[in-house]
Structure 1
Amino acid sequence: MRIAKVIGKVTLSRSVPEFQGAVLKLAVPMMLSDIENDNTPLDDLLVVYDELGAGQDNYIALSEGGEAAQPFYPDMKPVDAYNAAILDTVDIRYRPSK
């Protein structure tokens, strides 16, 4: 699971039947340095299936790959990324290296 930031929404004019009524968001995975510096890189964009209603600039926890399709089991949906949680806060604490 990775942290990502929602930067937009995706609108489809036509899609596969499994996406009927789906809400898709455009998100960018965030590195620790991006979160600390409030930087939003635009080099690794993902289309995320969102049933939770994440808004613009929300941080989300996303699952990818085969795990992204698990919430729909036994139905099959062709998703590569799924919004598993909307994060209210991200608290970063450092552990001293040994």
Structure 2
Amino acid sequence: MRLGKTIGTVTLVQPHATMRGGVLRLVVPLATADLAAGDGPAEPLVAWDDLGAGDGQLVAFSEGGEAAQPFRPLDKPVDAFIAALIDHLDVTS
């Protein structure tokens, strides 16, 4: 599980049948050093969102094979999944 910040939405012209009921969001992964600034230098990735994250929302996301596990036994073609919306985060060094 990693932390990231949503920066936009991906629109599909013709989505796969299993892609209904949620949104694809662009998420920038954040390293520990980036959390205080709220922005990171990492390249954004596409994550499935059925929680309703907004632009600029801090989120926790899962990647890889674990990202598809919440949808079993159905197959959903996702590589990253937003698992939590983070309202507040205290970072101490």
- Give the TM-score taking structure 1 as reference length: 0.86
Between structures 1 and 2, the one with greater strand share: 2
Identity of aligned residues (%): 47
SS in 1 for 2:47: strand
- Give the TM-score taking structure 2 as reference length: 0.90
Q: Give the 5 Å matches for 1:49-60.
A: 49-60=48-59
Q: Does 1:24 align with 2:24?
A: yes
Q: CA separation in 2, counterparts of 1:61 and 1:33? A: 16
- Residue equivalent to 1:39: 39
SS in 1 for 2:65: helix
Q: Does 1:80 align with 2:83?
A: no
- Superposition deviation, residue 21 in structure 1: 3.7
- Residue equivalent to 2:90: 91
Q: Mind listing any 5+ residue stretches in structure 1 that lack a counterpart?
A: none
4+ residue runs over 6 A deviation: none
Determine which structure has more spread, i.e. the larger CA radius of gyration.
1
- Superposition deviation, residue 15 in structure 1: 2.4
